[in-house]
Amino acid sequence: MKTKLITFLIATLGLIWTAQAKVSYGTRTLNEVHVQGIKGFLYDVITENPRRDLVIRLKPKFASAIVWLDESFASRQEFKIKELAASNENAEIISEAITHITKVAQGNSSLPAEATIERWVSLGQRVEASYSVQRITREDGQVETIVDYELDLREATQNLLYRYSEEYEEDLALPLFQKINLFHE
């Protein structure tokens, strides 16, 4: 009986470990905060860009990259972003985003590191990327597949678990950007 229990526990732990997402950049495994920061960064780049022509061209690509990142993070499969970047446009976009986020986090930018990273993580929690697929049959009988990507921001919800206090503010002041800075090798 004891052997069966130990075998069950080992098998269960094995399933739990394999169910965790394995998305990495270099030697670092991404966590939820990293993913949120990346999503927020990409959303910020699109919404703050004054060049409409660039926004129209990049928005579907960024939405596709965010969908890919979310699906990769939820998958049981291992994804190595640096290795995939050479052959996968979505991984390349995520890799470039990580490079820019790391520069900001290290203070190698005119942007205030901590406030900017906090903004991106906060935005990333609300970013929604999705896609729809349409199959259209042309007059010549050819079937054309059209994929339409969307990138939106959910409305902010009020967090009722915490009330503002100076003590809580000090906790927030802990260097959140260092979590993103784990990408630096």
Query: Model confidence over 135-180: pLDDT tens digits?
Result: 999 999 999 998 888 888 888 654 444 333 344 333 333 343 444 4
Coil, helix or strand at residue 161: coil
Amino acid identity of residue 98, one-letter, is I
pLDDT the model gives residue 21 = 53
* pLDDT at 65 (0 to 100): 96
Q: What value does the mean pLDDT of the chain take?
A: 79
pTM: 0.72
- 86-94 long-range CB contacts below 8 Å, 24 or more apart? 89/61, 89/64, 89/65, 90/64, 90/65, 93/42, 93/61, 93/62, 93/65, 94/38, 94/65, 94/68, 94/69
* Low-confidence residues in the chain, pLDDT < 50: 2-19, 158-185
Within the chain, what is the greatest distance between any pair of CA atoms?
69
By C-alpha distance, which of 46, 40, 63 is closest to 115?
40
Tell me which H or E stretch contains 3.
Answer: helix 2-19
Q: What is the pLDDT of residue 181?
A: 44
pLDDT for 175 equals 41
Q: Quote the pLDDT of residue 131.
A: 87
Whether 63 and 151 have beta carbons less than 8 Å apart is answered as yes
pLDDT reported for residue 2: 46
Residue-level pLDDT at 178:
42
